[in-house]
Amino acid sequence: MFDSIGWGEIIVLGLAALFIFGPERLPDLAKDAAAGLKRVRSAVTGIREQVNDSLGDDMPGLRDLDLRKYHPKTFIRSQLLGDDDGPTVHRGSANGATAASAAVPAVARPRDHATPPPFDPDAT
């Protein structure tokens, strides 16, 4: 519990509490703090049981869930650059009436950097 606090700091805090609250009130404060800690622990246990009851069989799947893949930057990158058959790019005139305006998947072929990207007047 006290991984980052050494025994010297704990003794200093205890002596400071003794000087601040006095020897008469310190035992009562320690009892109140222990009772409060027990109430907090029982409340957390109750909340955990309610979550386990409401989620049921889905809880083990949620524990194994990797939340890093839902970071906005990662999520958008995976949605835009995914390998699935996503949106298509229409090439040709603005109304799409030419014969060269066949639908080409957005990830069908890599584009070299010398040619400009396709322009879609409907998207802008």
Examine residue 55 and state whether it is found in any structural domain, yes or no. yes
Beta-strand relationship, 88-90 and 103-105 = antiparallel
Examine residue 34 and state whether it is found in any structural domain, yes or no. yes
pLDDT digit string (tens) for 19-34? Answer: 998 889 989 998 999 9
pLDDT digit string (tens) for 67-118? Answer: 777 788 888 888 888 765 555 544 444 444 444 444 444 555 666 777 777 7
Examine residue 115 and state whether it is found in any structural domain, yes or no. no
Examine residue 100 and state whether it is found in any structural domain, yes or no. no
2 phi and psi, to 5 degrees? -105, 60
Range of the domain at 15: 7-63
Helix (H, G, I), strand (E, B) or coil at 64: coil
Examine residue 68 and state whether it is found in any structural domain, yes or no. no
Examine residue 75 and state whether it is found in any structural domain, yes or no. no
Examine residue 91 and state whether it is found in any structural domain, yes or no. no
Domains in the chain, number: 1
Examine residue 108 and state whether it is found in any structural domain, yes or no. no
